[in-house]
Amino acid sequence: MALGYLFAVLATLASGSGSILESMGVRRAGAHGGRSRDLIALRRQWLYFLGLGVNLLGFGCASAALHRLPLFLVQSMLAFSVGVTAMISAFMGARLRAPGWGALLVGASGLVLLGVSAEPGPAQALPPHWRWLLMATAVPVGAIALYARRHQHVWATVALAFGSGVSYSVVGISARTLHLPDDVWRLVLEPATWSIVLNGCTAAVLFAMALQKGGPTGVTAIMFTTNTALSSFVGLVYLGDNVRDGYVTAAAIGFVLAIVGAIAVAHYSANTRQKERAAEPAGTRV
């Protein structure tokens, strides 16, 4: 099952580096206005679409990892991709202070504990009606976007971040339970395939809207916590994901450290960016 761990690491690296490219595209396009139509400016930013492509590659690696490893491990590693983003940003010149590096160490320690605690293996098959239900989840979650467009209060941001986390967790659950037919073209007949597509698009839109309305730290914290906790619960209770004998405590501690570390890295990275922007002369901002 070493291949599963390799795919999980590649997915984490791709997700973190893809986020950097998308962020560079958003900055070049100036799409910070908080309005949905501001995102139209991204259509000419090749860096943004390159970032999307890298993220798609990362999703492919994550899907391969999910066929071999439990949800609680893979989703925690994907949540910690924010640490990869922070490290790449630091190498590119952004300053990450000591608490941020400490948060990286905490999150990495949690991932090590999760890695040694996880019991590799395939997931249990879901009944057909549950696979259709996963696909239909995109409808009520998508309704959150319609609600948020008409409201500007803080609960609209919370709802968007929560909905994004739910959709991302459904994507992970669908990828974990996706049946790979002998003929590749038969994937279009699998409800899990369409669940991944629909919920993935819904999650991306809601997350972008949440970032436009709220601060990145709070939005990321809600999304990561919802995504990882919900998918891990479903995996352990319904999909047969297991922890090695005698490693339950280590897995629980690792899970908490990984999520807290990811959220803390997002917090300190956001604070660093805000301070750097505030220090820039107004005429130098792009």
The residue with greater pLDDT, 11 or 222, is 11
Residue 224 has pLDDT above 80, yes or no: yes
- Confidence band (pLDDT; 50, 70, 90) for 2? confident
Enumerate the domain spans of the chain. Answer: 2-284
Q: Which residues pair with 119 in a beta bridge?
A: 242
Q: What is the mean pLDDT of residues 218-229?
A: 85
Structure confidence at residue 127 (pLDDT): 80
Per-residue pLDDT at 197: 92
Question: Could you tell me what percent of the chain has a pLDDT over 90?
Answer: 34
pLDDT value at residue 13: 93
Q: Kindly state the DSSP code that residue 186 receives in the 8-state scheme.
A: G
Average pLDDT over the chain, rounded to an integer: 82
- Look up residue 110 and give its two tokens: 């949690």
User: What is the tens place of the pLDDT at every residue in 27-41?
Assistant: 666 655 445 555 566
Q: What does the pLDDT average to over 231-243?
A: 91
Type of residue at 272: T
Q: How confident is the model at residue 26 (pLDDT cuts 50, 70, 90)?
A: low
Average pLDDT over residues 239-254: 93
Token pair recorded at residue 170: 């459904």
| More confident of the two residues 126 and 151 | 126
Helix ranges restricted to H, the chain: 2-29, 46-66, 71-79, 81-91, 98-117, 128-136, 138-149, 154-177, 191-213, 216-238, 248-279
Residue 249: is it exposed, middle or buried by C-beta count within 10 angstroms (0-12/13-18/19+)?
A: exposed
* Distance of alpha carbon 37 from alpha carbon 14, whole angstroms: 28
Chain position carrying tokens 């995109």: 138
pLDDT band at 10 (very low <50, low <70, confident <90, very high): very high
Partnered with residue 220 across adjacent β-strands are none
Write down the pLDDT at residue 274: 56
Phi, psi dihedral angles at 220 (to 5 degrees) = -65, -40
pLDDT of residue 230: 92
* Helix, strand, or coil (residue 181): coil
pLDDT at position 145: 82
Q: Please give the pLDDT value at position 192.
A: 87
Reported as type and span, the H/E element at residue 242 is strand 242-243
Whether residue 267 has pLDDT greater than 90: no
User: Residue 94 has what pLDDT?
Assistant: 74
Q: How far is CA 191 from CA 101, 131, 167, in A?
A: 42, 6, 15
pLDDT band at 282 (very low <50, low <70, confident <90, very high): very low
pLDDT reading at 205 higher than 60: yes
The conformational region for residue 280 under phi > 0 = left, psi -120 to 50 = alpha, else beta, is beta
What are 159-191's pLDDT values in tens digits? 888 999 999 999 999 999 887 777 777 788 888
Quote the pTM value. Answer: 0.82
Using the predicted structure, report yes or no on whether residue 212 has a pLDDT greater than 70: yes
Q: Are 80 and 227 in contact (CB under 8 A)?
A: no
Residue pair 113/250 in contact by the 8 Å Cβ criterion: yes
**Are the C-beta atoms of 191 and 128 separated by less than 8 Å?**
yes
Residue 239: DSSP 8-state = S
Residue 242: strand pairing partners: 119
